[in-house]
Amino acid sequence: MNGVAAAVPAAPSDSAAGTAAATVDFSRNGATREMPSVDTYKNALLTNFVYPESQEKMRTALREVRARFGQKYPLVIDGREVWTDKLLPSLNPSAPDQIVGFVAEAGIPEAESAAKAARRAFQTWGRTPFEERCQLLERVAAILDRRRFELSAVEVFEVGKAWAEADGDIREAMDFCLFYAYQMRLRGNPRLTQHVPGEESYQHHWPRGVALVIAPWNFPLAILCGMVTAALVTGNTVIMKPAEPSAVLGALLMEIFEEAGVPPGVLNCLHGRGSVIGAYLVDHPDVEMIAFTGSREVGLRIWESAGKTRPGQRELKRVVCEMGGKNAIIVDSDADLDETIVDTIYSAFGYQGQKCSACSRLIVLEENYERVMQRLLAAAASLRVGNPEDPGITVGPVIDETAYRRIQEIVERGKTEATLAFQATHIPEKGYFIPPTIFTGVKPEMTLSQCEIFGPVLSVLKARDLDDAIRIANDTDYALTAGFFSRSPANIERIKAELVAGNVYVNRSCTGAVVGRHPFGGFKMSGGGTKAGDGDYLLNFLVPRVVTENIMRHGFAPEATPEYRAEFLWPPR
């Protein structure tokens, strides 16, 4: 889900639906809080690294993965390995002179071959019974579980995740497989719309066709696997483009799908530059839908380009677009600071602030401001920054040199706008390490308060009262996640109704969305309002269809009756 993953997964930011949201009744005597009618799905467990056995398995996996640094991985098109003249290196952000692996780089010819292969495979995969597609996802989940420590170790090296964050990403990928299989079984059969004498009317769904999946690097298996499995289980074929900084993990996911038995052409893996193959495939007439998670800049370009109808295009392109956030946590005057500080530090600096759901703005009511800041700065000083191969590290490197330089520039500019209240001093000299940084005296209109930084930088804003705090929190382009700490039932109910975000968290961290439990996604400039990890998410990959039959007639002509229910088949014969 952008995500979703980590020791507990991720969430989205703000939207202009504030007025409408305020009419929702969340009072305990008003809105009903019934349990879902079907509540049998169970999430996979997280690995507990307190136990020596788990630690030893992780250390062994780290040694084994390091021993295969430099391995080369191909493209996979129509079930065949494809090599090109160019190889893209994937670097270790903790030690950029180390190459984790190389992937073959696709160009336009390979992208065209993948589109053709996916189109051909769709003729069969779209007709494959949904139960077979569900079983494929369950086999993938089992392999992910079996290779859990290996994949976590690759995440430590390739994207700089701490042990628990890496394990959470694998857990979330498993959850997506099992949850979407579970949901497809609930939605796979035609549904009678009404009981009417003399008529049968059924609603069912057809897959859209070829789906292009463009994934981010920050949840390199969870989000990639989530978008791919949603497309596959609904009968679509997929062209999968992993993010360049996490290309090795994308190649390993392709290996896992092949081991699980995905048919040739149903899933195709293209590594390469988004500006080349991504742009080409977004415009391709054979691509019916695009599932994208990433930056606002790229997401808006995709949204715009997909809206143009091109020669040979048969369908209006569907776009599932999940982008970033400028997520705020509000601290009420009566908040429990024991939980507030712990959860804020985790929300702001977990995975180096590189989650789309990360807290980047802390809005504190002035009545409580001094107490909050004293505790916050003391807690920040306890963060350990370093190479995430060490199990005691809580803050690792940012993803690459480009991100490093961009965040450094924002920090330097912030020093001229606001007050640098805290910056960690003990950081490694080698690698892309940004020290956890806290600014105070930040105003709502400043760059620090409006720009998505995607790094370990927290801006603290002071609010006069709760009215002022809500206004500040809602005053951004984004609407992904938001949080609130309070012991006031009245204020909590007000926040539920007025805080503009796709995921609102009360008295807990604003990151860590769990598949099924916390459907994740935002609106405004955070996305199109879709929710990953929700049963309805699958509907984005389907087209609804209704077949109505008058059954009040005088019998059939048996020799003219077809052997199959043609109206429920896709693609049509």
Q: Tell me the catalytic residues.
A: 322, 356
Q: Which two tokens stand for residue 273?
A: 């530059």
* Residue 288 and residue 97 in contact, taking contact as beta carbons nearer than 8 Å: no
Is the backbone of residue 455 left (phi > 0), alpha (psi -120 to 50) or beta? beta
Looking at residue 456, its amino acid is P
Query: What are the Cα distances from residue 474, in Å, to 150, 239, 418, 477?
Result: 41, 37, 21, 8
Strand partners, 293: 322
Residue written as tokens 């992780």? 58
Looking at residue 176, its amino acid is F
Query: Using the 8-state DSSP alphabet, how is residue 34 labeled?
Result: P
Q: Provide the CB-side half-sphere exposure for 366 (13 A, CA).
A: 7
Looking at residue 465, its amino acid is D
Q: Which two tokens stand for residue 21?
A: 């949201």
Distance separating alpha carbons of residues 271 and 252, to the nearest angstrom: 12
- Inter-residue long-range contacts of 435-443, CB under 8 Å, 24+ positions, other chains counted: 435/385, 436/348, 436/349, 436/380, 436/383, 436/385, 436/395, 437/411, 438/376, 438/377, 438/380, 439/414, 440/373, 442/361, 442/417, 442/418, 443/417, 443/418
Distance separating alpha carbons of residues 449 and 453, to the nearest angstrom: 10
Strand partners, 318: 289
Distance separating alpha carbons of residues 501 and 356, to the nearest angstrom: 13
Closest Cα partner for 357 from 10, 4, 14? 10
Other Cβ atoms closer than 10 A to 372 = 22
Other Cβ atoms closer than 10 A to 518 = 21
Q: Determine the 3-state secondary structure of 316 from DSSP.
A: coil
